A and B are shown apart, each in its own frame.
Chain A
Amino acid sequence: MKTLILLFISGIFSLFGGIFGLKKILPFFASIALATAFGYLAYDSYYGIENLQNMLIFDNYSTLFIGITIVSTLLIVLMSARGYSYNSNSIGDLIGLMFFVLCGVVCMVSFNNMVMLFLGIEILSIPLYVMVGSHRNNLKSNEAALKYFIMGAFATGFLLFGMALIYGATQSFNLDVIRSFSATALQSSPALVNIGLLLITIAFAFKIAAVPFHYWSPDVYQGSPTLVTAFMATVVKTAALGAFLKFVIYLSPMLGSQWYIVLGLMSGATMIFANVVAIKQNDFKRMMAYSSISHVGYILMAFLTVNKDTQSVVGFYLIVYSLATIGVFACLLLLNPDHNKSSGFEIFNGLGKRSPFIAIILTVCLLSLAGIPPLPGFFAKFSIFKQAISEYLGLVIVAIASSAISIYYYFRAITAMYFTKYDETETSCLKEKNYAGYFVITVSLVGLLVLMIFPGLLGL
């Protein structure tokens, strides 16, 4: 709870700081606030479970997911000074909105009442619509914001409708009540509950961008400023998956076999479609959008066999995924901080010569995303496969085949970095001393390497 309050106050402070000309110190202030929030989080979880009127419950589960999002945000905020300098007048707004998104995240992953889930998703989404469109003079950014807003509004509609149907069957928004009702409710009005669950699943699928509800995602990722793309690919994705998983874990007794079929198909389709389409992308950010969609496909496999390990498996996956994704976007920001170049693969040409340090880190991050052993990305993928293989052998084979496909597009960037010649006359922004950017990529490299050697370090 303290975390939530702190995040909210920091958000307001950032907004006002932006107005009163504290732009220079805002990123610094924000990182301290986030670090403090993380500290509070750890402190609170140490003292056990906190239950707020059965509306929000802060337990291990929520601590894990809030922790991941706060650290990801911290890394992203660190880069914001340079990464947002082309629009530095509104950096206060950006950071403030990030804090508000985090407030939404806290509600989403610790909800015990579906009203809080709805509120959380809305608190998360509305600042995001603004952030996506924050590159005001860019047509793509405007398009992305509009698209995301319309799609998001639809998804919210589905969510509300689903919740209403479930309320109709069980007369409660409280997860515990719904769960205890499940046995009888299913008999009295199965259609109501099943349709409700399906609608809520669709709404979640919109938020996590699972096939076939992913169409907004490539456009939005491509159009938004890179900083916001990184934020969406990590924090928002983690939050949405966290909320969805919590929902599934709580209501697993209610979920009939047909629901698992739907989810299994969705997972398989997501993996195949995203990986195949990613091959054809010539824009790196678009490729990363499809890559993050495909990762959702892998994670959804873990949802099919919910047991006591699921939380840690998904948590580990998201940590590794977030670290690598932030590393990739940070490298992209170092190469193109002003968004004045195209974000095609040619931006990486000859990077192995121009800046071996960035090239190595980008390589490690991409290899980890591709799941090449022994990088932690492999451990994460493998633990999901291992959980699913006894019941869903076919799906695991699909997953393995599609991760073989994914090698192709991750290696396109690596090929460009090391094997392709570059235009030496081109002006490069590698000369400037962007310490924060280098710090962030170093953190993600060190994080990945540490998780490679000591995967059990986080106790997951």
Chain B
Amino acid sequence: MILIILPLIASLFTLFFKNKVAKIIALTASVAQLILNFILLCATNLKSTSLQALDFYPWYASLGLNFSTGVDGISMVMLLLTNVACVLILLSSWDNSYSSMTKFLALILFMQGALNGVFLSMNGLMFYIFWELALIPIYFIVGIWGGENRIKITFKFFIYTFLGSLLMLLALLFVYLHTPGNHSFEWSEMLKAQMTGWESTLVLWAFFIAFAIKMPIFPFHTWQADTYSVAPAQGTMLLSGIMLKMGIFGMIRWMWPLAKNACECNYNIFIILAVIGIIYAAIIAIRQNDIKRVIAWSSVSHVGLIAAGIMTWSKEGIQGGILQSFNHGINVIGLFMIVEIIERRLKTRQLDQMRGLAKHGRTFACLFMIITLGSVAVPFTNGFTGEFLLLNATFNYHSIIGIVSGLTIIFCAVYMLRVYQLSMFGPEKDNGGRIGKLTWSEYSTLGCIAIIILCIGIFPNWILQISESSVDGLLMLMKGGPAL
């Protein structure tokens, strides 16, 4: 409860202060939030396979809407990601001086509250409400502080995702009508919904499209690259680092259990779509000149792999997907931070405008290297374990799919190293752009990210343990085991 309410209150509170103070307040609030999250982590029994309910308050009882929250290992990882990422994002915005900075910070905090709500809610309607609530701040962040052409692009983004969520609302309503007895939107009740295979398949598709738009999976990705490149750096971080994980989480928590009677064959289609996305996006990424667009497309590719792995619905797949969601969130925030730093100094993001940046920014080059390697999934970085598990799962599912999605690592190396080489090495361009010294906030953001990348690379079990028993419980449930 407090995880959701605190950022919302903090966001209101921030509005009353001027730039500098507001920054301090926002950062303090997000750190406090992170500490609370760790307390919750310690208080949660991670050995238990079931969901641990936290709060239950009737909100609008005649609609079946309750404020009911619960946590398990899966949502715990997502919560950790959200709260870690928000600290990093707020830290990264320290040096920005946008007009009306307070509003900007308030919107980020607002977003954090909404995202926590998404990951915590155990009521279908509440899930939908927070899902939509998360869309509003990002709409304003992109629309107000975005680059050129932003009005058109935010509109497209908003309507696209809103349509997806309306489909999800329909699916939720449909399941609701099939719950036994007095209908209910509670997750545990919705699991008991009696639906035939066909009805389940409809629900499955509605959920899939909603989540696929959010993630985005090919062919629902058309909003993504434009929105990412137009959004301000922090907006992109929020979008790609956290918001996209709402889709992954939604698949695990809502789509799969609620549509369990649907034909398995649908998942074949989904996995094939995801794998097409992996290759397609990677190839596009190689040809881009704008660094932000490279990373945007790489994000589509990585997420495709996560989605494919998860939808094999094997233990390695889900575990790898959860771990990799966390890693991808951290890595992508790091990459966008690097783009932001380059853009602050050079006023451009075009690759052909930059060469030899490493010469006057050695620490920067070093940190950039670590993050790049993490994203390429070199052993001892965080990406390795996650992608290994995912590839293992897809390979077990079908060898050809495994091999094709394995190409992602090669492609990723190609486009990431291309970016690195073109920007960092070679003779310096004489148009005067240099990296020079990093400010302390840039240092600490990138430093934290590098440390997290290495730590998780060396001790991946730390995250895997959090979600392990919950994944076991979920798999048991889906095999017709005892209800949670």
| A interface residue numbers (CB < 8 A to B) | 309, 312, 352-353, 367, 372-374, 378-379, 382-383, 385-386, 389-390, 396-397, 400-401, 403-404, 407-408, 411, 415, 418-420, 455-456
Q: Which of B58, B132, B170 contacts A373 (CB 8 A)?
A: B132
Q: Bound state CA distance, A418 and B145, in angstroms?
A: 10
Contact of B132 with A400 in the complex, beta carbons under 8 Å:
no
B98: interface (CB < 8 Å): no
Given known pairs A373-B133, A404-B163, A407-B158, the reply for A385 and B173 (CB within 8 Å) is yes
Q: Bound state CA distance, A373 and B159, in angstroms?
A: 15
- 12 intermolecular pairs with C-beta atoms under 8 Å apart: A309-B62, A352-B144, A372-B136, A373-B132, A374-B130, A400-B166, A400-B169, A403-B166, A407-B158, A407-B162, A411-B155, A455-B65
Chain A contacts of B62 at CB under 8 A? 309, 312, 383, 456
Chain A contacts of B422 at CB under 8 A? none
Given known pairs A374-B129, A400-B169, the reply for A415 and B177 (CB within 8 Å) is no
Q: Bound state CA distance, A401 and B169, in angstroms?
A: 12
Contact of A397 with B129 in the complex, beta carbons under 8 Å:
no
Q: Which of A379, A396, A401, A418 contacts B140 (CB 8 A)?
A: A418
Which of A373, A382, A455 has the largest count of B CB atoms less than 10 A from its CB?
A: A373
Contact of A386 with B155 in the complex, beta carbons under 8 Å:
no
B61: interface (CB < 8 Å): yes
CB 8 Å contact bits of B127-169 with A (1 = contact, 0 = none): 0111011001000100110000011001100110011001001
Contact of B133 with A415 in the complex, beta carbons under 8 Å:
no
Closest 7 CB pairs of A and B: A373-B129, A455-B60, A374-B129, A373-B132, A419-B143, A419-B151, A400-B166
Interface SS of chain B: helix, strand, loop or mixed?
helix
B43: interface (CB < 8 Å): no
Chain B contacts of A373 at CB under 8 A? 128-129, 132-133
Given known pairs A309-B62, A415-B151, the reply for A404 and B133 (CB within 8 Å) is no
Q: Which of B63, B130, B144 contacts A379 (CB 8 A)?
A: B63
Closest beta carbon of chain B to A326's beta carbon, Å: 22
B440: interface (CB < 8 Å): no
Q: Bound state CA distance, A352 and B140, in angstroms?
A: 11
Closest beta carbon of chain B to A377's beta carbon, Å: 12
Closest beta carbon of chain B to A71's beta carbon, Å: 21
Q: Bound state CA distance, A21 and B173, in angstroms?
A: 59
Contact of B136 with A386 in the complex, beta carbons under 8 Å:
no
Closest beta carbon of chain B to A365's beta carbon, Å: 14
Contact of A397 with B143 in the complex, beta carbons under 8 Å:
no
Q: Bound state CA distance, A418 and B162, in angstroms?
A: 20
Chain B contacts of A372 at CB under 8 A? 132, 136
B16: interface (CB < 8 Å): no
Contact of A383 with B63 in the complex, beta carbons under 8 Å:
yes
Chain A contacts of B58 at CB under 8 A? 456
Contact of B136 with A415 in the complex, beta carbons under 8 Å:
no
Given known pairs A372-B136, A389-B173, the reply for A404 and B144 (CB within 8 Å) is no
Chain A contacts of B130 at CB under 8 A? 374
Q: Bound state CA distance, A403 and B130, in angstroms?
A: 19
B59: interface (CB < 8 Å): yes
Q: With A404-B163, A419-B150 given, can you name 13 additional A-B contacts, CB distance below 8 Å? A: A372-B132, A374-B130, A383-B62, A396-B170, A404-B159, A404-B166, A407-B159, A408-B159, A411-B158, A415-B151, A418-B143, A419-B143, A455-B60
Contact of A389 with B159 in the complex, beta carbons under 8 Å:
no
Contact of B177 with A389 in the complex, beta carbons under 8 Å:
yes
Contact of A379 with B60 in the complex, beta carbons under 8 Å:
yes
Q: Bound state CA distance, A447 and B456, in angstroms?
A: 48
Nearest to B142 among chain A residues (CB) is: A419
Chain B contacts of A353 at CB under 8 A? 100
Q: Bound state CA distance, A168 and B132, in angstroms?
A: 54
Q: Which of A312, A383, A418, A455 contacts B144 (CB 8 A)?
A: A418
Chain A contacts of B125 at CB under 8 A? 382
Report B100-131 residues with CB < 8 Å from chain A CB: 100, 125, 128-130
Q: Bound state CA distance, A382 and B59, in angstroms?
A: 14
Chain B contacts of A401 at CB under 8 A? 166
Contact of B173 with A456 in the complex, beta carbons under 8 Å:
no
Q: Bound state CA distance, A407 and B173, in angstroms?
A: 21
Chain A contacts of B59 at CB under 8 A? 455
Chain A contacts of B133 at CB under 8 A? 373-374
Q: Bound state CA distance, A45 and B130, in angstroms?
A: 39
Contact of B63 with A415 in the complex, beta carbons under 8 Å:
no
Contact of A367 with B60 in the complex, beta carbons under 8 Å:
no
Chain B contacts of A397 at CB under 8 A? 170
Given known pairs A383-B63, A386-B173, A419-B150, the reply for A367 and B155 (CB within 8 Å) is no
Chain A contacts of B177 at CB under 8 A? 389-390
Q: Bound state CA distance, A382 and B60, in angstroms?
A: 11
Chain B contacts of A404 at CB under 8 A? 159, 162-163, 166
Q: Bound state CA distance, A352 and B65, in angstroms?
A: 33
Chain B contacts of A385 at CB under 8 A? 173
Nearest to A378 among chain B residues (CB) is: B129
